[in-house]
Amino acid sequence: MTNVIAAEHLSKWYGQVIGLNDVTLTVPSGITGLLGPNGAGKSTFMKLVTGQLKPSKGTITVLGEPIWQNPRIYFSLGFCPEQDAFYERMTGLEWVTALVRLNGVGDREAADMAHKALESVDLLDAAHKKIGAYSKGMRQRVKMAQALAHDPDFLILDEPLAGMDPIARRKTIRMIKDWGRAGKSVLVSSHILHEIESMTANILLINQGRILAEGNVHQIRDLIDEHPHTVYIKAEQPRGLAREFLAHDDVLSLRFEDDAVVVQTARPDAFYARLTDLAASGAIGTIHEVTSPDDNLQAVFQYLVKA
């Protein structure tokens, strides 16, 4: 198995602040999850991997080549950043086409590739709508489309499921797994173990700028299951959803926030599966957004660091 990323004593400082601290690791081909709470160093690592930042110390190679000031490597890389930033006045198709054109593709071919990429993320119906009018989930999906439109060998996804509705989330997870099966490599970051674990068992645990563990970490999973998991669901009928949730004993608590319901569950796997089925049935109206704060993961990391 070849390595897609190799880092040696990799460090990054922002003035006096340490973003990443003396990280040595290799990431094999296939799907790898980068898991850590907000502020753990995930984004710094992603930016170093995508050549947006230069290492303060140490080295990093991606697909066997140094990434900093090496634009040629972006033929083989697709990057879906975390930030919700777009050219709002462009349509999804125009935007993806314009970005694919930067890969040296002709106009018509770029439009075809953008079209196919939008189709693959189920956004073809909204291809001619302005991005400014997209929902949060659609914006996530158009970001994915621009990352995969040029058919890269290695896809880097920074919090790709954030804000997606349950159905889009399930389909995106399936798509990422299909990518892995097709021989592509994917590095995907999240602060939710449940999300990462549904894509891969190969996980990098990062906290406070250091890699705490890497590989198949089922023990971590057991540990996380001991802590309640919080889920924020923005929906058309939050009270109807709450009634459905209360019928199950894994739901520990419920509270309402504007047009959302915040749930604490002891079994995130079962909860997410139920939520996806509910969304698919349409019985309780539309679910707009599902997010999870990282409090539960933070608690586990604190436990790990103390241990």
Partner 1 sequence: MNVAAPVARAPRTEPTVVASAARVFDLSLGQMLWSRRSVFLAILLGGPVLLAFVVRVLSAATRFGPMQINGARVGGPAVFGMMIWLLYIRFIVPVLGVFYGTSLIADEVDDKTITYLFTRPIPRRAVLLGKYFAYVACTVLLVLPSVMLVFFLVVPSGGGSIGEGFPSLMKDFGMLAVGLLAYGAVFAFAGARLKRPLVMGLVFAFGWEPGVMLLPGYLKRLTVAYYLQALVTHQMPQDSAVSMIMQVFHEVPSVFVSLVSLAVIIAVALWAAGRAVEGREYVLDQ
Shortest distance (Å) from residue 109 CB to partner 1 = 7
The nearer residue to partner 1, 100 or 217, going by C-beta atoms, is 100
The nearer residue to partner 1, 68 or 223, going by C-beta atoms, is 68
Site residues, partner 1 (CB under 8 A)? 14, 43, 50-54, 69, 71-77, 79, 81-83, 85-87, 89-90, 98-105, 109, 112-113, 116-117, 119-122, 141, 146, 148-151, 168, 171-172, 174-175, 178
Shortest distance (Å) from residue 25 CB to partner 1 = 21
The nearer residue to partner 1, 220 or 275, going by C-beta atoms, is 275
Shortest distance (Å) from residue 6 CB to partner 1 = 19
Shortest distance (Å) from residue 303 CB to partner 1 = 25
Alpha-carbon distance of 108 to 93, in angstroms, equals 12
Q: Which neighbouring-strand residues pair with 263?
A: 231, 254
The nearer residue to partner 1, 169 or 274, going by C-beta atoms, is 169
Shortest distance (Å) from residue 205 CB to partner 1 = 20
The nearer residue to partner 1, 23 or 175, going by C-beta atoms, is 175
Alpha-carbon distance of 100 to 248, in angstroms, equals 47
The helix (run of H) or strand (run of E) holding residue 117 is: helix 107-120
Encoded tokens for 222:
């057991």
In sequence order, what are the residues at sequence separation of 6 or more whose Cβ sits closer than 8 angstroms to the Cβ of residue 56? 11, 12, 13
Alpha-carbon distance of 112 to 143, in angstroms, equals 17
Sheet containing strand 210-216, edge to edge, reads 77-80, 154-158, 185-190, 31-35, 202-207, 210-216
